[in-house]
Amino acid sequence: MRNCNHRGHTIFFGNRPKIIASATVAGPKECAGIVGQYVDRPISDDMFGEDTFEKAECKMLSVAIDQAIRNAALERKQIDVLFSGDLLNQIISASFAARDFDIPFLGVYSACSTMSESILLAASMVNAGYAVRAVAATGSHFASAERQYRYPLEQGTTRPPQSQWTVTGAGGCVISSEGEGIAIVSGTMGKVVDFGVTDVNNMGAAMAPACADTLIRHFRDTDTQPEDYDLIVSGDLGALGSRILKDLTWEKGFDVSSNHVDCGEIIYKVIEDEFQGGSGAGCSAVVFNSYIMSKLISGQFRRVLFAATGALLSTVSSGQGESIPCISHAVELVR
């Protein structure tokens, strides 16, 4: 006898696992913007007391996980599994952060879609009774991303207008089968979509088709329309990518123009400096776990579709002439 809890590639979480707490850490540039008043641990020094950018990134992630557990009024030993990943080679931020916790760790990677992939998997485990409480978390750091993916900061390379700024920040949430919180109702798994974009400074254009693919499949699998959601949140398409997303979904008969926001587009206050806005796994992690979660808890939003977006390239793949495969995983949240 088949036990079927999915339709198409959307999973339905009938036991309604809940996000019972979340937490964020963010740098000064990030805290100057829309998320500032919601961030648990604003940091003034982007080295966060460490001697390398990578260690600072890892520490932010560790602090976000720890704070999310504290915000849930839980102890670490009450968490059954941690899902986390990040942009650094071999996801060292997540692996080294996990070392700080005596909690089973399932490492994931979907670049800047890691926040929603982690939530989707954590909700899957909790809904199925494999875990009572799980943590989903990720983060990024501007300086570690620049030197790994682009140029040494000291070089002062000029940024093209279609580029985005990697967010310095981390966010995490506790997903539980017990307690009150924001229910995770469904999750739509992303497919790899590659429209042949090769410009590594134009991630928004590369990622928009993957996000559109996931959103459209979500609407079809769940028999919903964009207007059924108070907010449809993409990860870090930025301003240009968001316009492309609206066009691509509109072409398929789904108009998201009135209720779509992009975490990358809204995170920074002074948009001129960062061109298309924020990016990085920490972008959607910080916006979701601070601003979006606060608005869900307050009741300003009652139903949100969160689709973080990731570009699955590396410096090696780009150096070998490959285009940029992208992905977007989505989760539906209901107050």
Task: Give the footprint of a copy of itself on this chain (CB under 8 A).
Answer: 2-6, 9, 11, 15, 52, 54-55, 80-81, 85, 87-92, 95-96, 98-99, 102-111, 117, 120-121, 124-125, 127-132, 148, 177-178, 189-192, 194, 312-317, 320, 322, 325, 327, 329
CB of 115 to a copy of itself, least distance (A): 13
Q: Which is nearer to a copy of itself, 247 or 322 (CB)?
A: 322
Question: 43 vs 56, which CB is nearer to a copy of itself?
Answer: 56
**What whole-number distance in Å separates Cα of residue 201 and Cα of residue 160?**
7
Q: Under DSSP, is residue 70 helix (H, G, I), strand (E, B) or coil?
A: helix
Residue 202 or 290: the one with the smaller Cβ distance to a copy of itself is 202
Instruction: List the one residue out of 331, 119, 328 whose CA is nearest residue 207.
Output: 328
Instruction: Report the nearest approach of a copy of itself to the CB of residue 211 (Å).
Output: 14
- CA 11 to chain centroid, in Å, comes to 19
Residue 113 C-beta: closest distance to a copy of itself, Å: 9
CB 204 within 8 A of CB 276: yes
DSSP letter (8 states) at residue 51: S
CB of 107 to a copy of itself, least distance (A): 4
- The one-letter amino acid code at 5 reads N
Nearer Cβ to a copy of itself, position 55 or 246?
A: 55
Q: How many residues are listed for the chain in this entry?
A: 335
- Minimum CB distance to a copy of itself smaller for 36 or for 179: 179
CB 307 within 8 A of CB 232: yes
Task: Supply the minimum distance, in Å, between the C-beta of residue 67 and a copy of itself.
Answer: 19
Measured in whole angstroms, the distance separating CA 293 from the mean position of its chain's CA atoms is 13
**Do residues 15 and 31 make contact, with C-beta atoms less than 8 angstroms apart?**
no
* CA 163 – CA 113 distance, rounded (Å): 18
**Cα(122)–Cα(151) distance, integer angstroms:** 35
CB of 31 to a copy of itself, least distance (A): 27
Tell me whether residue 121 or residue 304 sits nearer to a copy of itself (CB atom).
121
Structure tokens at 32: 């100057």
